[in-house]
A = this chain, B = another copy of it.
Amino acid sequence: MLRAKAGGKIILRRKAIIVSIDGLGDRPLHELGGLTPLEAATTHTFDILAGEGMVGLVDPYAPGVPCGTDVGHLCMLGYDTKEVYSGRGPIEALGAGFEIFPGDVAFRCNFATIDHNGIVRDRRAGRIREGVAELAAILNNITLNNNVIANFAPATEHRAVLVLRGAGLSPLVSDSDPGGKNEGMPIQPIRPLDESEAALKTAEALQQFLAIARGLLNQHPINLKRIMSGQLPANAILTRSGGIATKCIPLQERFNGIRCAAVSGEATVQAIAKMAGMQIVTHPGITGSYDFNGQLKASFAIELLNDNDLVLVHVKATDLAGHDGKWDSKKSIIEQIDNMVAVIKAKIPPDTLIAITADHSTPCEVGEHSGDPVPVVIWGKGVRADKQLAYGETSCSAGGLGRITGKDFFHILIDLMGFSQKLGA
């Protein structure tokens, strides 16, 4: 807690940690006696936070609407995704290290193998890894018609990102990728998806880029070598998930100079943190996988709190377990995260707030993201404690926070921290 001066007035300020447990929300499971993995897990620390704090249910975007990790995290950070999100491309571009600017249109790409007649033989070019950086380099910085510049960078394995930069572009163009289950289908021509000049111009630029790419890839020594050794050549680019980069106002600018940081081992959340202008900590020891190392994440979070007001700690493993339908694994990961939060709670400065939340539900019975709301707890000084004693989907449904949106959740936390802005006088 500190009493900061703002506009000549002394105001009460508190720091906070948000623990974002990816895909945490779940549904009652027969195998767990009708409980969810969170309810079945032994979570002493979560329950202390719930008992002393206030709980509720959060619909990251809106009730019944499932979110991706990108949209879910943007919502939980108070962003209006209708304003700042039009597709996955720009998120991937940020993850691939691009600096992108409002108006840039970005696409997720695969290196793929196509036959001479344009039929997709392998959407992942034999899951190519070696030589991808070199192949991507020859596709980077190509000037297309109408002064559109194509920039291209590798992502993980056979994946890559394309960014088109120029005046008056649109993300509303179709995919060249025929889709996951359609090997044997022809590579798709790019069509504008509305009547605008921008969509037409973008479709033409993308089509031109894809033709140039095929020419350059076809004769590249890496591909010739792959063919000689019986491997599939990476002789075409498939594009999908086009999105336009928008002006995304950093949290610091939106909320009275608040300084924010994120600890995450996952590229998507790192990209969202970048969009929000947060300091990002990565380390080989913290991953976006099952071996996430909660103790190391806790240490980084505590350290970051020295120079930041708000620190987001993200754990991906619960979502992976939900996708895999592994309820037992999800339960034990939740217990590990409870231990991580115990360390955080023990080491944070006095008066620091803790919020536990999630970007969406990933119920084990579904194996995919669902629109079920996520359980949330906010704990610390100034919080109006409710009567709930446990952190779980059912107890949170009767909590003092009620049922709110992701944006509401963030605004409530920011207000408790003393960084909100009064409306009116």
Contacts and interface: CB of A to CB of B under 8 A. Distances in A.
Given A8-B179, A180-B7, A66 B400 contact: no
A80 interface: no
Contact of A68 (B34, B85, B425): B425
B366 A384 contact: no
Contacts of A63: 404, 408, 411-412
A384 B398 contact: no
B415 A64 contact: yes
B408 A64 contact: yes
A2 interface: no
Interface of A is mostly: loop
B66 A423 contact: yes
Contact of A66 (B68, B369, B415): B415
Nearest to A396: B400
Interface in A1-22: 7-12
Contacts of A393: 384
Contacts of A180: 7-9
Interface string A314-353: 0000000000000000000000000000000000000000
Interface in A235-265: 241
B402 A382 contact: no
Interface in A384-425: 384-387, 393-394, 397-404, 408, 410-415, 418, 420-425
Given A363-B382, A371-B411, A384-B393, A424 B27 contact: no
B382 A387 contact: no
A294 interface: no
A365 B369 CA distance: 40
Contacts of A386: 394, 397-398
Contact of A382 (B27, B367, B411, B422): B27
Interface string A174-196: 00000111000000000000000
A28 interface: yes
Nearest to A367: B12
Nearest to A73: B424
Given A393-B384, A411-B65, A369 B28 contact: no
A271 B191 CA distance: 38
A368 interface: yes
A425 B106 CA distance: 15
Contacts of A384: 27-28, 36, 372, 393-394, 397
A160 interface: no
A57 B402 CA distance: 9
B424 A68 contact: yes
Most B CB contacts (10 A, CB to CB) among A372, A399, A413 go to A372
Contact of A415 (B34, B57, B370, B383): B370
Q: Shortest 3 CB-CB distances between A and B: which pairs?
A: A64-B411, A68-B424, A71-B424
25 contacts: A7-B180, A7-B181, A8-B180, A9-B180, A11-B366, A27-B383, A54-B397, A62-B408, A62-B411, A64-B415, A65-B411, A66-B415, A66-B421, A70-B424, A81-B424, A88-B425, A366-B418, A370-B415, A372-B384, A372-B415, A384-B393, A384-B397, A397-B399, A402-B402, A403-B403
